[in-house]
Amino acid sequence: MNRRLVTSLALVLFTGVGSVRADDWGTISGRFVFGGAKPTASDIKADKDVEVCGKHKLLNEELVVGADGGVANVVVFVRDKDIKIHPDLAATKNTPVTLDNKDCRFEPHVAVIQTGQPLVLKNSDTIGHNSNVATIKNSPSNSLIPAGGDSKVTFNAEEAIPAQVTCNIHPWMKAWLVVRPNPYAAVSKPDGSFEIKGLPAGEVELQLWHEKAGYIGEIKVGGKSEKTAKGRKKVTVKAGENAMGDITLDASLFKK
């Protein structure tokens, strides 16, 4: 076998093993919109550590709808087991996620974390807090966090539903942790938009959840209503961008 042929074969093998083709991966995006008159978030009156917590405008965050009708804090995650992970996303498992006790509320209100990924429970306030994480498959944790301190937690098993986080010292404080076995999950932003990057091309099953609506049982896309049993919706991921557009959630879903 001549040298040129050997070199050509080696080049083919080198480029074919471990390479990532752009047409193998796609991004799903969309925007959740409230289907009805925009609700007004009610005020929360701080009755503990008023000298600190009373300085902040505290609102009920169970349902947050923006001025343009976008619904915040809707959780979207991929249900498929053993899904192929994009190499660029594999390392995200080593990056800590922070849930902060800040201004007598949790920031963010809903956080996504992978199994094995470090969670930092932080306290940016000048008073003590605790972060009581009510997991089901993982051992529950209840960390007392002094002012300016932090505590670290890691989850070894995925949670079927988001886990509630509360502060027993300040009972109005509430957040949610979405514990998943892969990076394919997102939480809608204040304008209702979400994006899940680096998905393998092909069919995936999404699941939709919101703290006030639970698993979202019906959506409207492009003016057409469709039932989503237990919030499940199958989507075909094509290479590149896969924009779902506006996804309307009827006001009746949030009256449970």
Per-residue pLDDT at 54? 96
The residue extents of the domains of the chain are: 21-83+184-256, 87-182
The C-alpha atoms of residue 34 and residue 188 are separated, in whole angstroms, by 12
The C-alpha atoms of residue 56 and residue 54 are separated, in whole angstroms, by 5
Per-residue pLDDT at 8? 42
**AA letter at 256:** K
CATH number of 21-83+184-256: 2.60.40.10
- Cβ neighbours for 252, distance < 8 A, ≥ 6 positions apart: 36
Per-residue pLDDT at 27? 98
Note whether 218 and 210 are within 8 A (CB): no
Positions in the chain whose pLDDT score sits under 50: 1-20
Assign domain 87-182 to its CATH architecture. Answer: Sandwich (2.60)
Per-residue pLDDT at 17? 38
Equal CATH topology for 21-83+184-256 and 87-182: yes
